[in-house]
Structure 1
Amino acid sequence: DLFYSFLTREYVNLRNSNVPPAETLAILKNKLSSIFEYGLYSRDSVAHPPRYGDQIEERVTLLIGCVEQVLGFSLPENLVNPLRKHFLALIGYVQRGLIPQLYSSSLILDRCKDEYDNATLLCRKINELLHIQCPATEVVWLCLFLKECRHYRQRIDASPDCGVILIAHGATTATSQAQYVNRVLERELFSAIDMPFEQSVHDTLETLTQMIQTRQYRRLILLVDIGSLIHFGSTISKLFQIDVLLMPNITLTSLLEVGLDLSYETSDLPQLTALLQSKNIPCQLCTPQQENGGKVLVISCITGMGTAEKIKKVLEESFGELMSQDTRMVILDYNEVRSLE
């Protein structure tokens, strides 16, 4: 059990290093949440976990039933398994006297404190059914677990018609980031397209279009890192006549944010766009209606039409091939530009 193995080891290390008690609690609080989540969702290497004595297994099963009764709903297998493992590990740690006598309500995350009464009730059930003195630190774990169960129940099912694709430069960058976030979220939400150094933008776009065609997406969330990939949003929207939410300059933090929002908030692209923008995460909603309207680049100069013509020529020679086909350049007299409303 990572929760107690970490707690016992880290507490001893901090105590031996003469860290003040208040700082010890702050350090433990910051780390316990991530350790809890990693331990809760870590994959078991054993297909059929070992079973213990019938009497212990019966009591653990009764305890799991008590947890479900407190929650008000049945737990899925991916939450029952870590709960069972935790209770079995708890018995061993208590019998060997390994759990430090450490408890403070400040160890409970603020978002989990409303589960305190339920957690203390379950601790009394643990005392009664397992015949052990439940450590006070178990309240911390149970608050985390109960809150996570409720959060998991609220998760929104993935919409099969909405693709979420990450494209990034590098041989494995997109794949590794997508795999990491998928594991954290416990769902295969992100697909990845890697762009090795020798791969052209054209080939990358071809891979993207084939993926969209094969999976028949009718909406797309496209996450890219840098460079010309940012133009893929408008290109795909126009090509397939679908809405595309483009997220440029993607980071692991923004990947996690959009993953959480898709899992627990909304998959509606306009709503998701507004939600991300409220967090100052760069994004742009590309729609077929926008793309069909075309774009006009107005060129003017206070020194006269001749200079404006030269500017247009330089832009055409420098960026002509990079401009989308629906973009046109228009030269206007400076006085006309000033009079535009």
Structure 2
Amino acid sequence: MSEDETAGDAYDEPLFFQVMEYAAHADRDVVDMVSGNPDWEPPEPLRDGLREYADAEPDEFQYPPSEGLRELREEIATRRNVDASRVVVTNGTGEANYLTMARAMERDEGTEFLLTDPVYPYYPGKAQMLGATSTKVPVLESGDPDVDAMREAASAETAAILVNTPNNPTGAVYDRDTIEELHDVAAENDALLLVDEVYDHFDFSGDFESALALDSDRVLVTTGYSKSMAVTGFRVGYAVFPEAYVDAAKTRHMLVNVATTRPGQVAVLRALKETPPTYYEETRAMLRERIDSFTDALDAAGAAYTRPRGAFYVMARFDDFPGTLSNVERLIDEAGVAGMPGEAFGEAYSDWVRFALVTPRADEAASRLADYFG
């Protein structure tokens, strides 16, 4: 278990930007597998929604309701089986996570977030911004949370347990029993359970079930459409809060952002209503094929790797090649493949490199890695 004393005024620049900047200035062709920017087509109804919005009356170009368009919030609420009053539409899942973490801190029931190791690095970054500490608890070999270790790490100082399922970077999918156990740990320590479900449409295992099914006033769920609709640039996400936490979250959202982009909300609403299930099924099928071919190449390279049960990331470990920033830069310069250093996600997988399979050149990247390490 590792603890990061991250309270303070200085914020570290995410390594994502450093790696992308390095790859952009490389002297050779580089396959970018750094960030989760989907390369596939968004739903056609989403494009239709944008076209229709362009011809709307001028009053439709003005501020939307701060908490989100009523029609969109009602559509979300129906799909999630919650009251629309609990839904706050945000500038992507990133802001939704920030709002839920802020609510956990504002309860004055601890200033620590329990996170998994490895962890999506923006979580400890947000904790740092909020003046909190982060304690990272290594996951099990399967990638699932070590609930016993979480229970041992939790204390009266724990404001919230924050997890992501399907998981970035391990590809693990937490089943309902695991979420219930984490909820119990949170309850035992008067903490909240924050669950980021942004990859909910990318479950290959059949084990995923939303934490909202627990129907608990300790559970706050976040998600968005950046990944599922392949629109990371739209910045439309949302959080579902227990009733007691909604008003303060809306106030913080209004003070920081005023509102979320109106055309993006209109387009997402149209896509939600008109996109058939086959859109998501075909995307998952395409990703399964990429995972198969990419891991085959990793076999040829003699690498160990995680096979994702959800999301679209593969972590790989190469002999005598720890997942440091300097080694990732070597891969860019010498193999022409850009991934993320494992050390960016914590200590437990610091020997690994994470690759995002959101490029049509995934097979080419796999071939380059096989040649480089084989």
Asked whether the two chains share a fold, i.e. TM above 0.5, the reply is no
Structure (1/2) with the larger strand percentage: 2
With normalisation by structure 2, the TM-score equals: 0.22
Larger Rg: 1
Higher relative contact order (CA 8 A, sep 6+): 2
With normalisation by structure 1, the TM-score equals: 0.24
Structure (1/2) with the larger helix percentage: 1
